[in-house]
Amino acid sequence: MPEILSQQEIDNLLSGMSSGASPAENLPAEVENPAKEAVTFDFRLPHRLSKNQLRTFQAVHDSFGEAFGSYLVSRMQTTVTVNVLSVDQLFYSEFVLSIASPSCLYVFRIMESDALAALEVSPQLILAMVEHLMGGVADGSKDARLITKIEQSIVKGIIQRALTEIQRAWKTIADLTFKLERYESEGDFAQLAPASEIVMVVSFEVAIGRQKYLMNLCFPTFALEDVFAKLNVQHFSALAAANRDVDRSATIQKQLGDTRLSATAILGEAKLTLRELLDLEPGDVLRTSIPVGGEVAVTLGGKTRLWGSPGISRGKVSVKITRTNMDSTSGE
């Protein structure tokens, strides 16, 4: 609730206005020095991604990090981990300003929307990959420099595999195809989107041995409109399904309770040789493996579920269930 001014404070304000003094000079100390400062809201930066969508993209790229890290371990024969640091949305101009010079930008095309995206890899990470692939150790940190054509050729296969793993991770939310277009060493030359366009930037930390490097993925949001719409539909569908869980389970139980099953009682089994089978004649007696008064197996769906004793009930051949056979079916 706002503080109510006393009559004396109102008189001070009126006298201050008549004398030309600033009204702020006559305000109480607690009004003069508010506890919280106002924060200017930037209307130019609409949040295109909701928190649920950001969490979804975090999970997608966590999956990519695990798969790509395993691949790097097999190629470089050393410990490698790839972890997601953050999933952010910002202006494309801000992303370009955050790119170091020189850098390693691998521009690829999203075939379904014909838009461009980029995988930014720090030059130090590229140099570490090259040294490990060539049999070196790469324990020390290296200075950033332009990557030569030969070094680009050495790591091109790894970059292609990274795009393949990204595409595979994205299959869980959208069936997209990524195609590598070109390599750029400066962020200004990438031209993925207009400067005022919102982009999604996924930042990774790649740890090779004791050294850590940075890697970023940049997706223009206009290229992912269909994906965002699909995620919204899935979110609301999941909410609706969660609200119907109780009613649905009751309906399923009712339907299962009225389901009819065919039960088969196996009264006996006997093993015969082919000669004995050929010599069988009417009137011959076969000795089964079940003794007189023993239990017979009752099968449901081709599997033994129950055991019982055969007999006559109301003039019909029947089987009285004596026990279940849950132990024998639990391992199937």
CATH number, domain with residue 292: 2.30.330.10
- Is 240 within a domain? no
Alpha carbon 202 to chain centroid, angstroms? 14
Mean pLDDT of 45-61: 78
Cα three-residue angle 284-288-289, rounded to 5 degrees:
160
The residue out of 218, 234, 250 marking a domain boundary is 234
Structural domains of the chain, count: 3
Angle, CA 103 vertex, CA 101 and CA 105 arms, to 5° = 135
Q: Is the pTM of this model over 0.85?
A: no
pLDDT given at position 331: 39
Instruction: State mean pLDDT over 283-291.
Output: 79
Same domain, yes or no, for 122 and 214? yes
Question: What is residue 62's predicted lDDT score, i.e. its pLDDT?
Answer: 92
pLDDT at 315 over 50: yes
71 and 207 in a single domain? The answer is: yes
Report the pLDDT value the prediction gives residue 328, as an integer from 0 to 100. 47
Looking from the CA of 27 toward its CB, the CA atoms found within 13 Å total 10
In this structure, are 63 and 195 located in the same domain? yes
Residues 32 and 157 placed together within one structural domain of the fold: no
Residue 78 and residue 201 share a domain: yes
The answer to the question of residue 77 being in a domain is yes
| One domain, residues 187 and 313 | no
Question: Which residues contact residue 206 at a Cβ distance below 8 angstroms, ignoring those fewer than 6 apart?
Answer: 72, 80, 81, 82, 125, 212, 213, 214, 215
How far is it, in rounded angstroms, from Cα 217 to Cα 219? 7
The domain in which residue 14 lies consists of: 1-39
Q: Is 174 within the bounds of a domain? A: yes
Q: What pLDDT does 262 receive? A: 80
Neighbours of 26 (CB within 10 A): 19
If one compares 247 and 184, the residue with the highest pLDDT of the two is 184
124 and 208 share a domain?
yes
At 151, the amino acid letter reads: E
Q: Is residue 256 part of a domain?
A: no
Position 156 in a domain: yes
Does 322 lie in the same domain as 300?
Answer: yes
Whether 218 contacts 118, CB under 8 Å: yes
* Percentages of the chain per state (helix, strand, coil), in multiples of 5: 40, 25, 35
What distance lies between CA 8 and its chain's CA centroid?
63
- Asked whether residue 183 falls in the same domain as residue 150, the answer is yes
Is the same domain home to 27 and 57?
Answer: no
The tens digit of pLDDT for each residue in 231-258 reads 765 544 444 454 555 456 777 777 777 7
Torsion angle of alpha carbons 76, 79, 80, 84, nearest 10°? 180
What is the structure's pLDDT at 164? Answer: 93
Over residues 52-75, mean pLDDT: 90
Q: Please indicate, yes or no, if residue 242 is contained in any of the structural domains.
A: no
In percent, how much of the chain has pLDDT > 90? 24
Q: Both 25 and 87 in a single domain?
A: no
Same domain for 275 and 308, yes or no, is yes
